[in-house]
Chains A and B, each alone.
Chain A
Amino acid sequence: QQPVQSPQAVILREGEDAVINCSSSKALYSVHWYRQKHGEAPVFLMILLKGGEQKGHEKISASFNEKKQQSSLYLTASQLSYSGTYFCGTANTGNQFYFGTGTSLTVIP
């Protein structure tokens, strides 16, 4: 079951904040967040396993709602290096993993 991300694309100026959402019609076993820069492989950012969980990584943090059907990624005080495509990813109870539709983030000076 592929999760849906919104927005599809966002352009920010350095220092601005952004929120990327990841939604599923079914409860998710876990949510991963990855960032992919153009021409490179996805790089793991963080994983959330429990409903209600929140995690942070420098100025990037994420939440997983209580029903485990939505996750949000928060980017604060964005830097040029944050540019890339952000994917959420979900695993079922087996070993099948689906990436979301992706959100292209561009940070401009």
Chain B
Amino acid sequence: EPEVTQTPSHQVTQMGQEVILRCVPISNHLYFYWYRQILGQKVEFLVSFYNNEISEKSEIFDDQFSVERPDGSNFTLKIRSTKLEDSAMYFCASSDQGGQPQHFGDGTRLSIL
């Protein structure tokens, strides 16, 4: 069964540094999402992406964050100048249509020191 893959599984970074989290969505999916989950808390929507542009973003997704689809397969989340509170699990998801079931990757655990 096709799946969403995320790399790396764990990223440790010094505060103030930039990180890029990578995702390979399911190949025939057109809608892509990033979510954040702070340990023990709910899953929070960050951004959705369709047709090579952001379609929706939450209040969390400020100027510190950016997303890109640099080629036909990868979907990246960049966090500039990381802060301690950015430590969380970041999930990528994809779906074939908007509002339809989302398939999640296994996540990247981001630890900011």
Which residues of A approach B to under 8 Å, CB–CB? 29-30, 32, 36, 40-44, 47, 87, 91-92, 94-102
Which residues in B have some Cβ–Cβ distance to A below 8 Å?
Answer: 31, 33, 35, 42-45, 48, 50, 55-58, 91, 98-107
CB distance from B102 to the nearest CB of A (A): 7
Q: Which residues of B contact A91 (CB under 8 A)?
A: 98-99
Which of A29, A30, A40, A91 has most chain B Cβ within 10 Å?
A91
Query: Using Cβ atoms and an 8 Å threshold, which residues of chain B touch A40?
Result: 106
The 9 A-B residue pairs with the shortest CB-CB distance in the complex, in nearest-first order: A96-B56, A41-B104, A91-B99, A95-B55, A95-B48, A44-B101, A99-B43, A95-B98, A95-B56
Q: Across the interface, do B42 and A42 meet the contact criterion of CB distance under 8 Å?
A: no
Nearest to A43 among chain B residues (CB) is: B104
- Contact status B43-A44, CB under 8 Å: no
Contact partner, B99, options A44, A87, A95, Cβ 8 Å: A95
List 7 additional contacts besides A95-B56, A95-B98; criterion CB under 8 Å.
A29-B99, A41-B106, A96-B56, A96-B58, A99-B35, A100-B42, A102-B43
